[in-house]
Amino acid sequence: MTESGDNVDRELFRNIQKLRELRIAHRDLDEVISRLSLDIHVDELQLKRLKKRKLMLKDQILLLESQLIPDLNA
């Protein structure tokens, strides 16, 4: 029983760590996008790709958060 509990704890820790990494990457990307947006000579395609990547990170964050938060209806 404790081995199963240890596995759950390890998985929870990995998910929390992954969530932390995704949030940092999202924040960093937001800062890059903000700085690039100020440049009048910015490559619009590059900016668009960065924004798309930021949205993908946000989706991953929301998915992981929903997995970590227990279902209140259960």
Q: Give residue-wise pLDDT tens across range 4-49.
A: 778 888 988 999 999 999 999 999 999 999 999 999 999 999 999 9
Name the pLDDT band for 59 (thresholds 50, 70, 90). Answer: very high
Residue 57's nearest CA partner among 14, 26, 33 is 26
Residue 64's nearest CA partner among 20, 24, 2, 26 is 20
| H-helix or E-strand spanning residue 33 | helix 2-38
